[in-house]
Amino acid sequence: MKLFEKRPGLRLNEDGLAEFTVWAPKAKFAEINIPEKNLRLPLTQDDFGHWTIQTNQLKKGDRYQVVLDKETERPDPASLSQPEGVHGISEAIDLNSFKWTDQDWKTPVLDDYIIYELHTGTFSPEGTFEGIAKKLDHLIDLGITAIEIMPVAQFPGERNWGYDGVSPYAVQNSYGGPHGLQQLVDACHGKGIAVILDVVYNHTGPEGNYLNDFGHYFTGKYSTPWGDALNFDDAHSDAVRTYFIQNALMWFKDFHIDALRLDAVHAIKDLSPVHLLRQIKIETDRLSTQTGKQHYLIAEVDLNDPKFINPLAKQGFGMDAQWIDEFHHALRTTAGEPATGYYSDFKGISHLAKSYQDAYVYDGQYSPHRKKFFGLKAEDNPGNQFIVFSQNHDQTGNRMLGERTSQIHNFEMQKLLAGAVLTAPYIPMLFMGEEWSETNPFLYFVSHTDPQLADAVRKGRKAEFADFHAEGEAPDPMSTDTFENSRLQWNLLNDAEHQTMFRYYKALIALRKQHPVLKRLDRGNLSVKFHEEQNTLTIHRWQDDKHLVCLMNFSAVSRLTSLPNLEKSWKTLLFSGDKQWNGKAEVPGNFATEAEISLPAQSILIID
């Protein structure tokens, strides 16, 4: 094995020997400092700029730092634990000491994923991994099969979405640290829930970012919204690629994570013969072959290019699935939200119908917002490669006031949006709290300690909303009130209306999991019809001799809709306007062939 293929950082072996590797080609001398022992351990350099040591003097629980050229003291760039935060000293820990109980766990196939995205700090009253674990029975009752945790790599302070992480290998100390995350994953697997972890390989945060002191982690060849791009294809890029590839493998091996959601992969700049994503997929598959454990890679990508999700054999990057923001945008404009900002590309129900059929709305057409022809068709990609939602952390938190659907739409439209997602031939994802119509916003928050940086974040947020013609002032991202106002209100489940919404989501999810048509993500067995003026849409899906129809009325008045011309009678499976869901309409339980149905305003009717 070549040295640069080794995992960076500290590994504690069973025989008490510590192995340490740090890439620091800029340094002429490097050592480990253990202040509590008043001990400095010189490192040995190789030809590739790596410094290494094997020693029995660095023990579990020791606090240590890397010293460059005898004067620059820095945290280990591959530290597993930062108990004093991003600027503090690193802690030597042994990830292998955790006693797992999930030996028989097998992650579900992607078709069976029903994802629940959550933010650790605001999901539970405790704001920790332990707090999540206490709520797992709620998620099981709801019908969730996988949770997706927003990034947990160490970030400045205790309040952050997680995309400002600067220590990719360290788990946020205020959430419970690495052992807290291991305990949560083990608990999830014990209750039949898979775990997806959001990771960020397109940039690192600004505060506490000491990577440049060590090596050539960034390149001036490309720029990103966050500054210089990470160096994945320039001189010295081998070690940088290894740093992130080994990080991905660590989550699978040492934390038993089932899937990674890779943030904004379109911002990963790499013209190497083997793109970083493709290499991560190759190494992930190799790991799965060794362990017999399936692991998935899910991309957030804004390019409508199926090469990201095409298999390796077809020269794709091999991502197993991707988020589809365009489904969200089409759905929200269909529901009547203004076509401003990036919504300006979306024409409501005609584009929603296209996303049901083709996943991508723009697959070669001219995009007015981008002012160019955009996208390629995803013709050979199955439904289980696309993840859809009516809200997520981005689409909620990147609104100036962080309004959830419950603050924008009435009760009936909320139920319709949920039905639109959960009847799609794609993997559905919920955002925490939507299942009970949470009324608190989800705002953007940080806790930077650098006053200039904090001020820059405030100004940046204000500029971000210029395209949406937002009036007023954005809440201060640095304020503790902004964070506290974003917490879920679990007590709302005691309220009758919120409990009704929860029961409605349960019924929808149960239907999706049980119905032979809904649980098969077959894009081929699908037809979609829409009426633009009436704002209605009909989805017909089938599997063998089983048929299912979803009738949706997004307008504010009742509309006449017709059923597919099939020689069969139909019965109601679920109707959002039913009185049991606080609706006010009566719908007969059976329909004759070719019947016309008066569908109440803002409702969905599911029949088979």
Distance CA 601, CA 554 (A): 7
Single-letter residue type at 219? T
Reduced 3-state DSSP string for 444-479: CCCCCCCHHHHHHHHHHHHHHCHHHCCCCCCCCCCC
Task: Find out whether 326 is annotated in a ligand binding site.
Answer: yes
594 SS3 class: coil
Task: Find out whether 177 is annotated in a ligand binding site.
Answer: no
Task: Find out whether 263 is annotated in a ligand binding site.
Answer: yes
- Chain center to CA of 560: 38
Task: Find out whether 398 is annotated in a ligand binding site.
Answer: yes
Backbone angles phi, psi at 96, to 5 degrees: -75, -5
Task: Find out whether 329 is annotated in a ligand binding site.
Answer: yes
Backbone angles phi, psi at 551, to 5 degrees: -105, 125
Residues pairing with 373 in the sheet:
366
Phi and psi based region of residue 44 (left: phi greater than 0; alpha: psi -120 to 50; beta: remaining):
beta
Task: Find out whether 489 is annotated in a ligand binding site.
Answer: no
Q: CA-based Rg of the chain, rounded to a whole angstrom?
A: 25
Single-letter residue type at 260? L
Task: Find out whether 264 is annotated in a ligand binding site.
Answer: yes
Distance CA 86, CA 166 (A): 7
Task: Find out whether 325 is annotated in a ligand binding site.
Answer: yes
Enter the tokens of residue 106.
Answer: 């097998």
Distance CA 366, CA 397 (A): 28
Give yes or no for a contact between 527 and 440, defined as CB atoms under 8 angstroms apart. no
**Which residues belong to the active site?**
263, 300
Task: Find out whether 266 is annotated in a ligand binding site.
Answer: yes
Residues pairing with 296 in the sheet:
259
The conformation of residue 165, written as its DSSP 8-state character, comes to -
Task: Find out whether 393 is annotated in a ligand binding site.
Answer: yes
Task: Find out whether 261 is annotated in a ligand binding site.
Answer: yes
Closest CA to 412 of 552, 217, 267: 552
Task: Find out whether 198 is annotated in a ligand binding site.
Answer: no
Give yes or no for a contact between 282 and 312, defined as CB atoms under 8 angstroms apart. yes
The conformation of residue 8, written as its DSSP 8-state character, comes to P
Distance CA 546, CA 520 (A): 11
Give yes or no for a contact between 229 and 222, defined as CB atoms under 8 angstroms apart. yes
In this structure, the number of other CB atoms found within 10 A of the CB of residue 595 comes to 13
Closest CA to 575 of 390, 423, 408, 431: 423
Task: Find out whether 87 is annotated in a ligand binding site.
Answer: no
What residues are designated binding site for substrate? Answer: 261-266, 325-329, 393-398
Numbered residues of the known binding site: 261-266, 325-329, 393-398
